[in-house]
Copies of this chain bind each other. A is one copy, B any other.
Amino acid sequence: MTAGPRMNGAEALVNTLADQGVEVCFANPGTSEMHFLAALENPRMKSVLCLFEGVCTGAADGWYRMKDKPASTLLHLGPGLANGLANIHNAKRASIGMVNIVGEHSASHLKYDPPLTSDIEGLARPLSHWVRRAESARSIAWDTATAVAKASEHPGQIATLILPGDTAWQDAGERVLPVAPVPVRRAPDQARIDEVAKVLRSGEPALLILANKATRGRALELAGRIAAGTGCRLGSQFFTARIERGAGRVPIERIPYAVAPGSAFLKDFKHLITAETREPVAFFAYPDKPSLLKAPGTLVHGLVDADEDSELAFEMLIDALGLRDTAPLIQQRIETPVPQGALNPISIAHAIAAAIPENCIVVDESLTTGRESMGLTMGALPHDLINNMGGSIGYGTPVATGASMACPDRRTFCMVGDGSAMYTIQSLWTQAREQLPVTTIIYANHQYAILKAEYANMGAGTEIGPQAMAMIDIDNPRIDWVAMGTSMGVPSKRVTTAEDFHKALTDSVRADGPVLIEVLLK
């Protein structure tokens, strides 16, 4: 603890966030947060305005994915938190750390039940790991330090701190520096390692399924050695928080999304070995289809638990297997020709593979279109691929916004279906304001195409009736994405051929700020 100038609760909060390493606040403030706003004048905190709270929480998610440390959000009472919840759900499912600051009425005012009153704890709890109401300005530095420590755990946690107005404006006393937590790296016990080593030495077909921190950096390289040395294959769930992929990286096979191809992919494996994830399950339940994708005789071995360290575990496994000198599997570079002609999943994939520069970030929320394309970009220049693990659409453009804030020297490509893009389209404005190097690619097929397939999958009928079809088709009116992007200050263009798409992508790499490309699919 160090002494310093006196401050109010809001200043203590922002100072403590900064002291604990939180660099950014994605904010959508209201009246009850005016003192917090004043405290944001702090030069150690970058504040970023978002015009809808789902953009704030999604951007905090994107920030964490690239930085491995939490961002903060500022949300206006219960309804502001509510608007951010869907992307908090997605973040939670992706093991993201995040500190949400939720404004609240002063304690003395709450008893009158003014209009914006709601049960904020009740709204926060289902999707937060940690919820606290700051009780006084004097304790807020500790509350804040605890929130950041909680968010910074592995796996990342959702911490929600409720800030009553009086707590923000009252005297917090002298400045305090709560002690920062020491990060813990936990490894699995040796017995688990030995069991998996035995499985891998057996030569029986095995799939090592990687997730969270196992899909990048040294952990991924170690997994590549294990695969090279034992003949096991490396897989990922269909959706993974972040994968380092492309030429020169260890390649990971993606377990297909739909039940039939997912089961077909898994049926030849005798063993599934999981690292920071669990065995693959169907995204939805369907009448007469299984929930678990593995074949009946397949064994599942939990190698690394969600709160353990894959890098340590893989080191131990490599020692057990004697693979210290084995070179990892490496993805070769595949030079992709610039595609010509019609836009389809293959020409789209080729355009992307040919255009994306080294070290870029790709955020994928393209559902039907991207699902068919992404396999063809394995040999592109090395990049980070980010996917949505929570299934709530509207994650793409906010996450791209936050990822780009975290990595302003790298271009971020955000691939998003037209249906998905509409949920949190306000992201474009923040991208324009911050002049972020984000290329938003809208796949405009004018429908919730995924639902057309799912209607049949669900056995809801062989033909979709006109009322049901009207709930799936978004072509009337057709959204003009060039006008949409332009309305929020993002230079936008429409492409109708593969060569124009490729050119728009490479042009965007040279742009200073955000760009939107509408890929007109029909």
In the complex, chain B residues whose CB is within 8 Å of the CB of A392? 77, 79-80, 82-83, 116
A425 to B488, CA, bound (A): 12
Question: How many copies of the chain does the oligomer comprise?
Answer: 2
B109 touches A47 (CB 8 A): no
Across the interface, A37 reaches (CB within 8 A) one of B37, B287, B433, B471, namely B471
Nearest CB on B from A256, distance (A): 15
A411 to B287, CA, bound (A): 45
B122 touches A454 (CB 8 A): no
A40 touches B467 (CB 8 A): yes
Nearest CB on B from A123, distance (A): 5
A458 touches B34 (CB 8 A): yes
B82 touches A82 (CB 8 A): yes
Taking CB as reference atom, which chain B residue is nearest A463? B38
B116 touches A470 (CB 8 A): no
Taking CB as reference atom, which chain B residue is nearest A116? B391
In the complex, chain B residues whose CB is within 8 Å of the CB of A2? none
In the complex, chain B residues whose CB is within 8 Å of the CB of A239? 115
Mask of A477-504 contacts with B, CB within 8 angstroms, 1/0: 1111111101111000000000000000
* A49 with B471, Cβ < 8 A, contacts A477-B433, A484-B483 known: yes
A517 within 8 A of partner (CB): no
Across the interface, A34 reaches (CB within 8 A) one of B47, B90, B125, B451, namely B451
B114 touches A282 (CB 8 A): yes
Taking CB as reference atom, which chain B residue is nearest A104? B285
A500 to B465, CA, bound (A): 45
In the complex, chain B residues whose CB is within 8 Å of the CB of A40? 467-468, 471
Q: A24-32, A174-182, A187-195, A210-218: which lies at the B interface?
A: A24-32
Which of A40, A432, A483, A487 has most B Cβ within 10 Å? A487
In the complex, chain B residues whose CB is within 8 Å of the CB of A41? 465-468
A450 within 8 A of partner (CB): yes
A230 within 8 A of partner (CB): no
> Which residues on A are within 8 Å of B, measured CB to CB?
27, 29-32, 34-35, 37-38, 40-42, 47, 49, 51-52, 54, 77-80, 82-83, 85-86, 89-90, 93, 105-106, 108-109, 112-116, 118-119, 122-123, 125-127, 165-166, 169, 239, 281-285, 287, 291-292, 389-392, 394, 419, 422-423, 425-426, 429, 432-433, 450-451, 454-455, 457-461, 464-468, 470-472, 474, 476-484, 486-489
List 5 tightest A-B contacts by C-beta distance, closest first: A477-B489, A79-B392, A109-B285, A82-B85, A483-B487
